[in-house]
Structure 1
Amino acid sequence: MATIYKEFIVEADAARVWDALRDFGAVHTRLAPGFLTGCELDGKGARIVSFANGLVARELLVGIDEPNRRLAYTVTDGRASHHHASAQVFAHGEGRSRFVWITDVLPDELAAYIEPMMAQGGLAMKKTLEAAG
């Protein structure tokens, strides 16, 4: 199984970053606008997200861990036989946060496609979260 790990510092308070991350149905407006162009909740615990590159994915919410500021989801359609991801926010000094995003995927070959998308998504998140202050 391939694991893709992305970590970046956000010049914003961890509580504010977490508030945006945990808003599962607003990922396209509060977290990664531009990278994501749409998001619809399906009423069954999942969101259908549309990416700027034309990809559409159904992401099922696995859980929201409030005390640890962690959200986990799994992609339930597409080419992957397994796709699980989590994102977590840590305080990193005064007014700063550390954002950690991890994806596990099978088959391993899909990591070459997913990793650059996560890199783009991370840049979009950092930009949006820092501008929201």
Structure 2
Amino acid sequence: MATIYKEFTVDAGIASAWDALRDFNAVHRRLAPGFVIECQPGEGSRTVTFANGMVAHELLVGIHEAAHRLSYTVVGGKASHHMASAQLFAEGENRTRFVWITDVMPDALEGYIAAMMTQGVEVMQRALGGAPEKPAG
């Protein structure tokens, strides 16, 4: 099983970042606009359409308010297993660290999922309040 780990910070307080993250059915408007272009709510689920045309059916596994953590799984599609979580950590009054982890099988999907997550990080960082950080060098 491949594990993909993405971490970034935003110039926003944890309350506003959490309000956007926990709004499961507004991912296309509040968290990742332009990366996710459509979201159809279901009963404890959503069907999301990405800008590249990929469609995924995601089941909400849980929302942990105190830990600022949301977890979901993708069902159907090419992955035999997909489990993801996103968790926020306060880094002072107006800065939040965002940790997004996805476990996926088969391992052959790692590169594709990692590339999509990299795109998602850039969009989420802008949407939540901070431009992507420039690499050193």
TM-score, with length taken from structure 1: 0.96
Unaligned runs of at least 5 residues, structure 2: 131-137
Partner of 1:45: 44
- What is the rounded CA distance, in whole Å, between the counterparts of 1:83 and 1:108 in structure 2? 11
- How many residues are paired up? 130
- What is the rounded CA distance, in whole Å, between the counterparts of 2:28 and 2:109 in structure 1? 23
Partner of 2:33: 33
Partner of 1:75: 74
Cα shift at 1:125: 0.3
Partner of 1:125: 124
Cα shift at 1:77: 1.3
TM-score, with length taken from structure 2: 0.93
- What is the rounded CA distance, in whole Å, between the counterparts of 2:106 and 2:80 in structure 1? 7
Cα shift at 1:35: 0.4
Unaligned runs of at least 5 residues, structure 1: none
Cα shift at 1:94: 2.2
Cα shift at 1:120: 0.3
- What is the rounded CA distance, in whole Å, between the counterparts of 1:78 and 1:90 in structure 2? 31
Amino acid aligned to 1:106: M
Q: Tell me which stretches of 4 or more aligned residues in structure 1 moved more than 2 Å.
A: none
1:7-34: CA deviation from partner (whole Å, max 9, x where unpaired): 0010000110000000000000000001
- Identity between Structure 1 and Structure 2 (%): 63
Alignment RMSD (CA, Å): 0.8
